[in-house]
Structure 1
Amino acid sequence: MSWSDLSDLLRASILLPLLLGSFIVGTLVQRRLPVAHRGPKTHEMLRLVIDMLVTFAAIVLGLLITNAKTTFDATGDDVRAYAIRIITLDQTLNSYGPAAAALHPLLVRYTQDVVAQTPQGLGAATTQRFGLLTRIEAGMLELPAASNLQRHLRDEALTQLTRRGASPACRSMPC
């Protein structure tokens, strides 16, 4: 059993006797110290050392908070870029015309799977999402290109699908 497994009440019941014992030991030791060690200069030096330790702790906490915020912001940027790429892919498929309408439900289901993803079912969910992407890609390749515009839009959609898989968002969240 580790320290983190203990309940708050159990931790308090362990720490309270330790703190009281430390207080009693400190009081007994203080009486035995020479007068020079109990003077105002010693108190001032201890106060200075404690002030320095508090300042160092504040600096370390500030750096930890800054690092956490940077990571949070980067993840948020990745998620926004990921969403923009999926929206752009959907718009490209919509621009293609009615022949690409069958791919829209697959893209919606893929997006819902990514949003609903939890760390517990990560392996199975990733395999399922990969299967959806494969079906979307196969559907794009089967789209009939009657004009140069439709060929361009199909190639653009395939490029966007490929970029989506290699995006920075896929490094921070499973694709």
Structure 2
Amino acid sequence: MSSLAIALIVFLCVFVSGLLGLVIRMCLPSHHLREESMGIVKHGTGLIATLAALVLGLMIASAKASFDTIKSEVGQMAVRVVQLDRVLAHYGPETKETRELLQRVIASAIEVIFSDEGTGQARMDTPERLARIEDIQAKLRDLAPRTDAQRVLQARATELVKELLHMRWLLIVEAESAIPTLFLVVLVFWLAFIFAGFGLLSANNTTVVAIMIVCALSVSGAIFLIGEMDRPLDGLIKVSSAPLRNALAHLGQ
């Protein structure tokens, strides 16, 4: 389910809960609306609001950490790609075909991973993606170094390809959502309770409803941002492909 759909569901849940609180207030006998009765509603709402704020903060921190991790790994991958190309260039003209293959692999990876079709994680985790990188490994193994310098460069190139494969698997694993669904369900339940409490404590007028709408939009907006950052390779807010595109521009030079 998309982050926008989840945010819309959250908005409807909390806003309807607020309206339900207003309706319940109108239906309750007057003695239920006295200060001594409303006091427990205020305290209960405050307690749940504190818990919800803590959980929301944890979810935001987790989503931001996931986003920053993927962003860092994409940058490191771009650096390794340029390093690999330079090592192959220093090896000699024998690596021309390998360098061209590297260019094609990176260009294809950029278009596939950062396209708007499907999920970035699913697009990376295919046999075709893995086979292309392994083709580079095979070409490196087929090299026949004639000098000690070439042997060192071959070893370094092989090491860089292994690092790229390692980073690829890290991206696939870490692109998974890090926020448990149960966290989100419990948070929405608490938010619905809070808004119902708002309705019970408020008069039924346009100002109250307008404030509820603004608050519900704010909460659902926060959930939307969390969902977007928690899936860094998909959606409206995703990791930039600029590092890899910049690296691609330097390949073959």
Given the two structures, how large is their TM-score scaled by the length of structure 1?
0.72
In structure 2, the partner of 1:26 is 25
In structure 2, the partner of 1:52 is 47
- Which of the numbers 89, 112, 119 marks the counterpart of 2:84? 89
The alignment yields a C-alpha RMSD, in angstroms, of: 3.3
Maintained 8 Å contact 2:124/2:172: no
Q: Where in structure 2 are the equivalents of 1:49-128 lying within 5 Å?
A: 49-118=44-113, 119=118, 122=122, 126-128=126-128
Maintained 8 Å contact 1:113/1:125: no
- Where in structure 1 are there 5+ consecutive unaligned residues? none
Matched residues in 2 for 1:110 and 1:159: separation? 18
Which structure has the higher relative contact order (CA within 8 Å, separation 6+)? 2
Maintained 8 Å contact 1:107/1:136: yes
Matched residues in 2 for 1:123 and 1:65: separation? 26
Matched residues in 1 for 2:26 and 2:134: separation? 73
Q: Equivalent pairs: percent with the same residue?
A: 23
1:135 aligns with 2:135: yes
| Equivalent residues, number | 159
Helix, strand or coil for the counterpart of 1:102? Answer: helix
| Amino acid in structure 2 at the alignment position of 1:164 | L
Q: How much does 1:125 deviate?
A: 7.7
Task: Return closer, same or farther for 1:50/1:135 CA change in 2, 3 Å cut-off.
Answer: closer
1:152 aligns with 2:152: yes
Matched residues in 1 for 2:142 and 2:112: separation? 29
1:173 aligns with 2:158: no
| Amino acid in structure 2 at the alignment position of 1:75 | I
Task: Return closer, same or farther for 1:28/1:140 CA change in 2, 3 Å cut-off.
Answer: closer
- Where in structure 2 are there 5+ consecutive unaligned residues? 174-253
Matched residues in 1 for 2:60 and 2:159: separation? 38
Q: How much does 1:97 deviate?
A: 1.7
